Amino acid sequence: MKKVIYQVNAFSDVPFGGNPAGVVPNAIGLNASHMLAISKEMNLSETAFIFPLEDEVADYEVKFFTPTQEVDLCGHATIASFFTLASKGVITGIDNVKIVKQKTKAGILPVELYFKDNKIHSVMMTQAKPKFLFNVKNVSELAEIMGINVTDIGIEGYSLIPQAVSTGLTDIMLPIKSLSALKSINPNYDSLAQYSNKLNIIGVHAFTLETEEESSALACRNFAPAAGIDEEAATGTSNGALGAYLVKNNVLEFEDNLTIICEQGYYMNRPSKITVRLEGSKDDLTVKVGGSAIIVSSRFTSEV
């Protein structure tokens, strides 16, 4: 049995930007060992496997695999998945928004597909409700692991401390005082993997309010060696969690809705722009993440 698989760059509309994900649009017949083998073969940060459903609960079940393990949810692979389904005519639209539901290990989550002139323009995914899990007590230990000074951690004018937050996957939000300090982060990846496993987190999402581009609200870097990803060019779930973290800590002025742009991947030569939309109230926040994507290649998997 062979399956077609696409490489899709999410959060960008140029071939060498964004974060590449593998997408298998019809994964019927594949089991967990097949999916893991395909993910290892693709050797991308995540590969998404799409199973069409015929029930009232969800339209599709999507499973996400890194080269080493299955994960509950992946933002950039979700954007890549539904952009691919729309690009290939599986989901159609004209000049409208079409909402479908995906079943994931993080729950049943709506996905909004925006069409323009009969073509897919962008995709937004609703994430799981934010969970604020724990504060990092030993900031010096984290600074040492990340290869920075403890004085680099924080944001001027705010009382921010690193905190583990989840909108589907758990990352530590790590505030950094300047863009130069963000650029200087040089983790000990073995130590960070051990640290992440000990705390049962995916990794660390570092950010600063200084940016490379005026249109961006935040500059970010994401590190997840425990999941087989030393650094990732664009992360949907972590930027969604970051938006929730900033609202909870009163860094963003928020009433009932707010849209911000996070830039990521700039120091990996894969510039990415992630749109984060926050809706509702501070105590009942809905987090959406999205952007554009581009299909860069396709192939058939090996026999499985």
Q: Which residues are identified as catalytic?
A: 46
Residue 121: both structure tokens together: 């323009």
10 Å Cβ neighbour count for 158?
13
Q: Note whether 104 and 168 are within 8 A (CB).
A: yes
At residue 221's C-alpha, the angle toward residues 231 and 179, to 5°, is 140
Output Rg (C-alpha) for the chain, integer angstroms: 18
Residue 216: both structure tokens together: 């961006």
Q: Note whether 269 and 233 are within 8 A (CB).
A: no
Distance CA 164, CA 71 (A): 17
- The helix/strand/coil state of 289 is strand
Phi first, then psi: what are they for 208, rounded to 5°? Answer: -145, 155
* DSSP string covering 166-215: ESSSEEEEEEBS-HHHHHH----HHHHHHHHHHHT--EEEEEES--SSTT
Q: The dihedral of CA 79, 198, 251, 144: what is its sign?
A: negative
Burial 40-69 (b: 16+ CB within 10 A, else e): ebbebbbbbbbbeeeeeebbbbbbbbbbee
Distance CA 12, CA 122 (A): 10
